Structure 1
């Protein structure tokens, strides 16, 4: 986790929510099936000024000669982020947040069939994922890329998956972005068990080509 999510909040609402200056390259919304390697909404902060922009979801280390030169790094584990060569400098110097309305996770039955779940905040607020970013440049190609920070799931979430994104509360964003000095490490933990809720959705979302609001519609379980 995290491997797929949705974003339905309008761009101007996102900019207002984070008191950020919006870029002119923001991805289209709504998008009910945001997939790795696509552009996602990211908030960064420099010299106290926040910016809402677009980045490729899939962190590219500086030593890659091309985007697919190694594994696709969409997530960074909180437990090792400070030591991993790909992430350690970004963890100290280039933190950002990714914005989502909800994210997907899958369970499997005894036959290996994958069943998707859609996960949102119980209070209906947008999800704020702790993330890191990297400017990757190789000649004519230049990309701003990011990865979501993940941690071990809390007890409730572990019924679906053993990992989950690091989810920030609004009053924690400034600390994560470095606006309040150092000391963001304690934020890299699982959210409270009362933070999230989830429901089953149709298996159509198993395809990264699927789209439409029906992807997040609760699936009615058949009665026995």
Structure 2
């Protein structure tokens, strides 16, 4: 799964990278501790161009009467994405890209202590997650999103059994629906040898923690 991530790429650089038209009110960057329900940077295809805009991280199905009417849906499993009532329409019609730099995952000691790891691309490129989105609410619809996950590949399987679906630039048009049908073939773990992981300070266990030091390698790890 993916429960926290970092994003450091400036918004104008994102717009240039994705050839997208930026919205006026994008989330502040850098953010080294993006948490569920935060607004995140999302790229989606519009009628005439790509759009870079903020969305709430936490997909809200249309039948929820309030945002807390059911489970907080920050992730959506690729294996069941097309079947789950909450996600199947979005899987077909509302796919997006969610922009990050790296994400956090945790292992546990025998005593139950949570040990955080920071996972990032070895080449230093932005980490682009496959996502789905859904407008929620009648009077003033708010866009919400979830990160699609797959089984972990060998790069990080020793840390966690799940990972975000990470898309390469050549895959973006197909996932966004710009290159026709066939996005289902992308829903599998990516190639190995792309990701690196290292332990970071447990301070990131708090959703109130902020700052670049959160992604620095732990000296004694």
- TM-score (normalizing by structure 1): 0.97
The aligned runs of 1:63-102 (5 Å cut-off) are 63-102=63-102
What residue number does 1:214 align with?
213
3-state DSSP of counterpart to 1:13: helix
Cα distance between partner residues in 2 of 1:210 and 1:64: 30
Using the TM superposition, give the Cα deviation of residue 108 of structure 1 relative to its aligned residue in structure 2, in angstroms.
0.4
5+ residue gaps in structure 1?
none
The aligned runs of 1:170-181 (5 Å cut-off) are 170-181=169-180
Q: CA RMSD in A?
A: 0.9
Per-residue CA distance 1:78-120 (angstroms, 9 max, x = gap) = 0000000000000000000100011000000111100000000
The aligned runs of 1:199-210 (5 Å cut-off) are 199-210=198-209
Deviates more, 1:2-11 or 1:153-162: 153-162
Cα distance between partner residues in 2 of 1:173 and 1:28: 24
The aligned runs of 1:9-20 (5 Å cut-off) are 9-20=9-20
Contact conserved, 1:44 with 1:51, CA < 8 A, in 2? Answer: yes
Cα distance between partner residues in 1 of 2:132 and 2:141: 17
Deviates more, 1:39-48 or 1:66-75: 39-48
Number of residue-to-residue matches in the alignment: 221
Cα distance between partner residues in 2 of 1:23 and 1:147: 19
What residue number does 1:41 align with?
41
Cα distance between partner residues in 2 of 1:48 and 1:193: 35
Deviates more, 1:24-33 or 1:44-53: 44-53
Deviates more, 1:45-54 or 1:162-171: 45-54
5+ residue gaps in structure 2?
none
Cα distance between partner residues in 1 of 2:7 and 2:63: 31
Using the TM superposition, give the Cα deviation of residue 182 of structure 1 relative to its aligned residue in structure 2, in angstroms.
0.6
Using the TM superposition, give the Cα deviation of residue 47 of structure 1 relative to its aligned residue in structure 2, in angstroms.
2.7
Using the TM superposition, give the Cα deviation of residue 220 of structure 1 relative to its aligned residue in structure 2, in angstroms.
1.0
Dislocated runs of 4+, deviation >6 Å: none
Using the TM superposition, give the Cα deviation of residue 142 of structure 1 relative to its aligned residue in structure 2, in angstroms.
2.6
